[in-house]
Structure 1
């Protein structure tokens, strides 16, 4: 039976009692219909996971008693920072969910030339919180205890300037360099640039190459903006991460 895992922003400690947030309480007691005494697992993004017993729900909050701690680390040894052009519809949601599952460490949405989505003010803040919730829900499902960082959208140039990585790659279907040619390198931290639907412009690709990025192809077929980063992350994880 799968563990029932719940993320909380609260400090956690063995033998402590915690009041769960309203949305978590609703999911446990109404959706899953758990009863008092049910075993759950809590995590708060600081590492490891806490074993707990569900207490009685009072109103919109449930009390849980933490009974133990396991210092479990399921994070990849390869730190991947993904910069991806903002896309329409639910494409960004899908990328964030699946990238979290395959071990991404950090995601930065980018305002690229061909991005049709423009976010600012309250709308941007709400979208960022929405994406962070998607990442947290993915961590609950895939057993990660440290959600990836979801940054506010910025330009590709600002993102590339912020990177402190061993090597950076830009996906470019006209490149001749494949992932297989990177096997002899030893990399612990990598940046990955992916365009929106319609791709990056020639000037954006040129700018990234001038900033030290290497062009990288992941095959002869043109993949959608929501498919390409997941395939690329998986391939990089198979070289330097934990997909071995």
Structure 2
């Protein structure tokens, strides 16, 4: 059944206009009045709904019963990323959402090719939020992961104050394997994973992270692409098996 993210209050028995993006999607799918759909607003659970009216550029729907369904990963994993360039960041946001990431923090780092600030950074953030929303529609999640504003590495590190277990992906010798660490973590322990861009974090950034309490972990002997490394860490730490659509 088609699913649509509809931010804002949803209430059983009411009729509302879909957001522009969802309305366009309904029209692309050629849905008709009476067709069943599912709505979620990101606050938990989902609502049965049906198409009420199709306009030229707008769609109204009737909201049905709420179902308290959640499809979140057993452990909340937050990713802080030195942004990979071009479409790779888009791909990473989409796949991380499908795999259950709790939040994404885009970072400007020393070796990063993608450098964003000001209005351009906000536009990119809105773009990534839309990608995360669409990924939730596809994969069944009812909570859209937070995409935080783009920040510089040092400023973010100074402000980061979550109670999550802090890990930084590293190729340095003597680092602990992430799989073994994941198995030893309490089930309720949230995790924050810091991952570098193409070329990794600089030596200074790595040292800053360790001084701030990040434990260095490794994914193994192979050198992975920036986006692959972040997703591999997410899968190992989230604590669940996933199915294929």
- Provide the TM-score with structure 1 as the length reference: 0.93
Q: Structure 1 pair 23/185, CA: closer, same or farther in 2 (3 Å)?
A: closer
Q: SS of the residue aligned with 2:116?
A: coil
Cα separation, 2, equivalents of 1:133 and 1:152: 14
**5+ unaligned residues in a row in structure 1: which ranges?**
none
Q: SS of the residue aligned with 1:243?
A: coil
Q: Shift of residue 123 of structure 1?
A: 1.2
Task: Specify which of 115, 133, 150 is matched with residue 147 of structure 2.
Answer: 150
Task: Specify which of 106, 109, 113 is matched with residue 106 of structure 2.
Answer: 109
Match of 2:184 in 1: 184
Deviation track 1:139-190 (CA, whole Å, cap 9, x = no partner) reads 0001001100001111223333323133111000224310233123325211
1:49-128 alignment to 2 at 5 Å? 49-128=46-125
CA contact (8 A) 2:50 2:62 kept: yes
Cα separation, 2, equivalents of 1:56 and 1:43: 19
Cα separation, 1, equivalents of 2:53 and 2:203: 59
Cα separation, 2, equivalents of 1:21 and 1:184: 44
Cα separation, 1, equivalents of 2:55 and 2:147: 33
CA contact (8 A) 1:163 1:191 kept: no
Match of 1:236 in 2: 237
Cα separation, 2, equivalents of 1:23 and 1:170: 36
Over the aligned positions, Cα root-mean-square deviation in angstroms equals 1.5
Aligned structure 1 segments of 4 or more residues deviating by more than 4 angstroms: none
CA contact (8 A) 2:84 2:113 kept: yes
- Provide the TM-score with structure 2 as the length reference: 0.92
CA contact (8 A) 2:86 2:114 kept: no
Match of 1:167 in 2: 165
CA contact (8 A) 1:83 1:159 kept: no
CA contact (8 A) 1:165 1:191 kept: no
Deviation track 1:67-104 (CA, whole Å, cap 9, x = no partner) reads 21101111223121111002211111011101101110
Q: Give the number of equivalent residue pairs.
A: 238
Cα separation, 2, equivalents of 1:16 and 1:144: 23
Cα separation, 1, equivalents of 2:93 and 2:184: 29
**5+ unaligned residues in a row in structure 2: which ranges?**
none
